[in-house]
A = this chain, B = another copy of it.
Amino acid sequence: MKIVVDTLGSDLGSSEIKKAIVAFLNKNSDVEVIAVGNEAELKEISDKCEIIHAPDIVPMEAGPLEVMRMRNSSMFVAINEMKNRGADAVISAGSTGGFLSAATLSLKTSTNVKRAALIAPFPTKIKGKKVVILDIGASNENSPEELNQFAIMGSEYVKAVFGINDPKIYLLSNGTEEGKGSPTGKQAFNLLKNNSNFKGNIEARNVLSGEADVIVTDGFTGNVLLKSIEGTAKMMSGMIKNIFKKNLWTKLGYLHVRKGVKDMSETMDYKSTGGAMLLGINGVVVKAHGNSDAYSFECAMNVAKNLVDSKVVEKIEKGLK
């Protein structure tokens, strides 16, 4: 198995990515890593993996055309290496929009796939249980037919990554009853009814309840959902920290609940989920968090490996026949 890593573009710099590569390779000696980035920075890991020099960094706000034009950027070269060398997966922590659209343009959507979708796992109220939501931002709008395909793509992801064989699929809506939803959502509901794992509409307030395995939504709404969960969790975490900082007594109080607060932070921490994946493309394309540290990036590499191992790309092609 060959995994191409874009070592630039993370807010925390390439040193964290280097640590992640070393840690990953120590545990996965059978995987070959191709590290793309600044040769000088990567020298010290050159005994462990192949290094390709491409020192330009794609700016955060770059669109697909800019990425395609930046031929010395680590991102462009990484995607290109994936394509030309027949590697199995490519991972980047750089500009989401740029990476996803450049990967789509370059690697193309798989046979039968109408539109690629960005998918990510979310924590739920049930300890250890995750729910995946797609599309969380690859598109700005989606057709009912695309939403119907997302259900199948999401199911194959959940089967591959979490080993859930009969994933419960829901459609994000503004009410649970049939007949609720945007005009597109209502049409999608009718198509989804033919999927025996489809359980109906789910409201945003129950997304994290743990009842669903896969939640289908259009890319615009999914992006709003993702970011509002993130924003609310961040705001409340900040409030909790302030409560304990107040005085000596509250600081003492913290000593007793330290472990609990840490557990909660970990549950709500998207870093441990390994980022998002672009489903429906010819190859495994993983977008790690923009502020990836070594741990977080290693998680993303593990997700990539799992997806290659479980042949999720081939299974989606088959599932959509």
> Of A29-37, A66-74, A205-213, A307-315, which stretch is located at the interface?
A205-213
Q: For residues 208 through 241 of chain A, which have their beta carbon under 8 Å from a beta carbon of chain B?
A: 208-209, 219-221, 223-240
Q: How many residues of A contact B (CB 8 A)?
A: 60
A228 touching B254 in the complex, CB below 8 Å, given contacts A235-B125, A264-B236? no
* Contact of A174 with B by CB under 8 A: yes
A249 and B256 in contact, given A182-B220, A227-B203, A228-B204 (Cβ under 8 angstroms): yes
Q: For residues 101 through 123 of chain A, which have their beta carbon under 8 Å from a beta carbon of chain B?
A: none
User: Judging by beta carbons under 8 Å apart, are A233 and B230 in contact?
Assistant: no
- Given A225-B228, A231-B206, A232-B232, does the pair A140, B253 have CB atoms closer than 8 Å? no
- Whether the Cβ atoms of B256 and A140 lie closer than 8 Å is no
Chain B positions within 8 Å of A234 at CB level: 205
On whether the beta carbons of A231 and B260 are closer than 8 Å, the reply is: no
Given contacts A221-B221, A224-B172, A239-B267, contact A204 B177 (CB under 8 A): no
Which residues does chain B contribute within 8 Å of A220, judged by CB atoms? 174, 181-182, 185, 221
Do residues A257 and B250 form an inter-chain contact, with CB atoms below 8 A? yes
Which 3 A-B residue pairs are closest in the complex by CB-CB distance?
A: A243-B260, A253-B256, A205-B231
Given contacts A250-B256, A253-B256, 5 further A-B contacts (CB under 8 A): A181-B220, A205-B227, A209-B231, A220-B221, A232-B233
**What would be 21 A-B contacts, judged by CB atoms less than 8 Å apart?**
A125-B235, A125-B238, A141-B182, A182-B220, A204-B223, A204-B224, A205-B227, A205-B231, A206-B231, A207-B228, A208-B231, A221-B221, A225-B228, A232-B236, A236-B264, A236-B268, A243-B263, A246-B257, A246-B260, A253-B254, A253-B255
